[in-house]
Every structure is written in structure tokens, then in C-alpha cells.
A and B are shown apart, each in its own frame.
Chain A
């Protein structure tokens, strides 16, 4: 054990080294490490958040798709109903129109027939009168026997 002045020199060197390390070496290194740790932690948190957001967005998209599909189905359904209704209405209308036209035609026909019949009857009466006139010539007083002729005409 030969302690000597070297001890003092080393003590001073030790103190200077520690002070230098404390002022110029440790803080920047430690700060860099801590800053990076924070950065990494933030990055991980952000990626977690992004993952959650993505899941949320996917859920939302799925819901929206489902809604849209339901809506489309409903619209189609409505359209089909409307189509059926329209066809139904058209059929009804057409039927009514046909009936109408038919009824009108029948009525017209009837009227025509009645008119023709009346005309025919008149002509037959005239013919009958003319024939009777020819047969009876003067023996028959037209005026006196007109009631009989009328009756005849009615019977035709």
C-alpha cells in the first residue's frame, strides 16, 4: 500500500469526468431514449386507434349496406304492388269500357230494329190497305173501315 499524490490526481480526474458526464453525456442520451420511447408509445397507441376506427368504419359500412339492401327490396316490392294495381285498374277500366260500348251498341241496334220494324209495319199496313183497296175497290169506305185496318196494322 503506497498511497501517494496519484490519489489526488485521480480524485480530480474522477470528479471532472463525472461532472462532464452529468452535464454533456447523460442528458442528451437519456433524452433521446425517452423521446424515442414516447414516440414509439404514441405510434402504438395511434395504430391501435386506427385499428379500432377501421373496425368501426367496417361495421358502419356493413350496416349501411344492409339498410340499402332493405330499402331496395322495399322499393321493388312497392313497384311490384303498384304494377299489379295498375294492371288491375287498367283491366277494370277496359272491361267497363267494353261493357259500355257493348251496351251502347245494343241500344243502338235495338233502336234501329225498332225503327225498321215500325217502318216495315207501316209499309205492310200501306200494302195491305192498297191490296184491300184493290180487292174491294169502291165497296169499302176507307173512312168507315179505317178502325178495322188500324186493328190489322196493330196485329202485324
Chain B
């Protein structure tokens, strides 16, 4: 078995119009910029994108929005140091937003990956983000029912992979990536290096390979923050 994929273009080749895509990262940390840009090159449309944010500057998810690829964002914080791409389209009514509290977003994705269709959380009880959701009382406290989130494809960024798809991450670049690996029908990880099976100590594996369908090696990946500081636009 070898889950290695030869290129970023090949890695995103199965992504089609209208799909729901989870994209890992928190801001630029752990964001699979090269896979996102390969997806822009492919040029699919009407995507529902699940990410904590909604893009920054003119690269990554912001560049997807600029390219008119995104129909709907599901995120917790659609703001950034340069949020024009999302803001302009949102205020023009050209992109839909499902705003989800950050911990609820994480747990909905985890639930999707764990086969749990719904759960109860105290988060958002009594606020407008609980409107229309079932409420239940447990031990004298009120909780909001939230449903799982799943996706057709997850594209994530990790640090090391082995050929079985076991992954480790770089520092806080972990964030949503392990959860999204679990919650998509097909998960593709870009990694800085692919090692042979046995090249990662099983004690150090963060995402077990069962959650990963393909790995593509992108040595020296770009960091969103550096691209933004350099004023780079991807188009």
C-alpha cells in the first residue's frame, strides 16, 4: 500500500463542482496553500467551504472567493487582516455564510468523523446563533443541539506522512486538520516530507492513516502570513 500522490494537481483532481470541501488551518497556520492554489488552477465552482476563517488577502481561500468558486462559507470568524475578498461578496449578497462558534465548529466536524449525528452543547444557548435549533435541559442547565458536519473532500496540511497516510503536524498548525481528516469522504494531506512505513514512531502519530486517502509531498510549503506580508495575489 502506498498513498503517495505525485502532484498537487493530481491530489485535487477528484474535486468537482458543488462539492462540500473542508480546508484545514487556522488563519495561515496549518493551511494547505499549495492544494488550495491547485484547486484554483482546476477551477471548480459552487463549492461549500468549511474552514475556521474565510480567507485573508488575495491568496488561499480568499483567492478561491475572488475566483468565484465559493457558494457558501461555514466558519467561525470571517475576518482577517485583509478580509476584502469575503466581505465584498458577502455584503453584495453573492456568498452565503453559516456562522458557527469555533468550538461548536470543531465538535461538529469531530462528530461527523465519529459517526455522531448530533450532540448538545451549552455554547450559543440564548443567543441568535441558537435560533431554530432544538434545546434540551440536562441536570438543570440548557443545551443547544448541534448537528455533525461532513464533507466530500478534506484538504489539509501536515508535517510528516508515511506511505500509509499516518500524519504528524507542525506546532499549532495542527488545529482543525486532524478533525477534518476524519470527517470527509476523501482526505488529501499535503506534507513537507513523505517517509516510508515505519518512518514515524507510532507513539508520535497524530492522525492515523485510516483517516487519510492520499498524501502529496510539498517540500518547504508557503506560509499564508508571509505571502500576505509580501502582497502576493494568486490568480
* A, B co-complexed: no
**B residues apposed to A, CB below 8 Å:** none
**Which A residues lie at the B interface, using CB under 8 A?**
none
